[in-house]
Structure 1
Amino acid sequence: MLNSKVTNISCWKSVIGLLGFMWLIHLVNLLLGYQLNQFGLVPRSINHFTAIFYWSFLHGSFDHLLTNSIPFTILGLLVAVRGSNCFFLTTLFISIASGIVVWLFGRTAIHIGASVLIYGYFGFLVSRAWFDRSPISLIIALIVVITYSGLIFGLFPNTQQVSWEGHLAGLLSGGLMAWLLYKQTPTKKQL
């Protein structure tokens, strides 16, 4: 069920606060000459396993962060409409679950960036509409699919600088989170 107060300030604060945190991390990273990126997620490296908790908050440049900021905000707000707890649990789940998948199966490279969350939110919103079948969820999913249909191209290997594995893992993790939350929602009798 969607949060009854779509304009709930805490939903907006959650998303904008996390975005601000990403920008703060980026400024520190910039001042350090992007040295924090060496702590990104490197598949099958025991030394980089803990990166599953923060890899999605590191970015390689201002362009990288800026490119991720707008869809992160829009899709994040659509997830947060279900409540701040839903937003934070979904964000945490997507980052960790997709991090584990990339750590196990990704190509050897340093994987960083909030695009994993963007793909995860996309997967969450579309999957949640599938499970809920409520008019508002279906409308949101339709708008998301129309607006962000170009994300499909990021699911295939096309350049060494893009973690298509992270995108795919994020999408699947978001869908899995939607299913897990749906299974925990008490069913209502239809009249």
Structure 2
Amino acid sequence: METSETGSFLKSFIISFYLVVVMWCVKWVEFKYDINFASFGIVPRTVPGLIGILIAPFIHEDFVHLTSNSLPLLITTTMLWYFFEEMATKTFLSIYIITGIGVWLLARPAIHIGASGVIYGLTAFLFFSGLFRRDYRLMALSLLIIFLYGSLIWGIFPFIPEISWESHLIGGLVGTFIAFLFRKQGPQRKVYSIEIEEDDLGEEDEYWNTAEEPGTDEEEEDKQS
């Protein structure tokens, strides 16, 4: 499935699938050799914690945590590469890196792991891209995002101390910012012929209104004489 305005769905899915496979491979290595990579997560405002900016999204506490993040990451990254093929890589890396830096700078002292911050960033980017571009197709995508992940909004509040709500909040803000920053890149709203005709009619009306103004001045002069 491929059009001149989108990427290849198969290619988009394969890229997303590989990302998820890497996460599962990391967990398999932990399980196989009875080790724990959690210490390589993001530890805010510490030098050792800097490494977590790069690798924390691939580390998960357990298989339940990993499973809950796998499908959302697969769907959001597939949507990203399918609808925004030309700018997908820089968008993904921007959300990935800036979210990690934000968590390192602003989050509470703890070990932050998991891909949820990136997922929140991608979800926010997809949703707000449709709104900022005023593209009906992308706005339909935004509605789909709300339908699938509308409940994610509760993840940005500190209801459960064990969950890194800071990653969710920072990821969402970063995704929104990137959507605004890149709003003039990638797919844009189509201007249909009827809109062009209406604009032309508006210009003609403005011309005739301007042309009538001298007559109004002459009438005022007649009244004064």
Query: Normalised by the size of structure 2, how large is the TM-score?
Result: 0.77
Deviation by residue 1:108-145 (Cα, 9 ceiling, x = unmatched): 11001111121111110111011111111000101111
Deviation by residue 1:85-125 (Cα, 9 ceiling, x = unmatched): 53332222222111111111101110011111211111101
How far apart are residue 146 of structure 1 and its match? Answer: 2.2
Percentage of identical aligned residues: 34
Match of 1:77 in 2: 78
Letter in 1 for 2:70: S
Letter in 2 for 1:178: A
Larger mean CA deviation between 106-115 and 24-33 belongs to 24-33
Match of 1:8 in 2: 9
Deviation by residue 1:54-101 (Cα, 9 ceiling, x = unmatched): 211111101101011111112221112124553332222222111111
Letter in 2 for 1:29: E
Match of 1:173 in 2: 174
How far apart are residue 177 of structure 1 and its match? Answer: 1.8
Q: How many residues align?
A: 190
How far apart are residue 4 of structure 1 and its match? Answer: 2.8
Where do residues 70-149 of structure 1 align in structure 2 (5 Å cutoff)?
70-84=71-85, 86-149=87-150
How far apart are residue 188 of structure 1 and its match? Answer: 8.1
Letter in 1 for 2:89: F
Within 1, Cα distance between the matches of 2:139 and 2:187? 20
Within 2, Cα distance between the matches of 1:3 and 1:37? 43
Where do residues 42-61 of structure 1 align in structure 2 (5 Å cutoff)?
42-61=43-62
How far apart are residue 13 of structure 1 and its match? Answer: 1.2
Q: CA RMSD in A?
A: 2.2
Contact 1:94 1:174 survives alignment (8 Å): yes
Contact 2:43 2:49 survives alignment (8 Å): yes
Within 2, Cα distance between the matches of 1:182 and 1:57? 29
How far apart are residue 160 of structure 1 and its match? Answer: 2.2
Higher relative contact order (CA 8 A, sep 6+): 1
Q: Rate the CA distance shift 1:53–1:3 in 2: closer, same or farther, 3 A.
A: farther
Q: Rate the CA distance shift 1:80–1:3 in 2: closer, same or farther, 3 A.
A: farther
Q: Which has the larger radius of gyration?
A: 2
Within 2, Cα distance between the matches of 1:89 and 1:6? 15
Query: Normalised by the size of structure 1, how large is the TM-score?
Result: 0.89
Contact 1:56 1:112 survives alignment (8 Å): yes
Deviation by residue 1:41-62 (Cα, 9 ceiling, x = unmatched): 0000111112111211111101
Q: Rate the CA distance shift 1:37–1:84 in 2: closer, same or farther, 3 A.
A: farther
Q: Rate the CA distance shift 1:170–1:59 in 2: closer, same or farther, 3 A.
A: same
Contact 1:12 1:77 survives alignment (8 Å): yes
Within 2, Cα distance between the matches of 1:85 and 1:189? 18
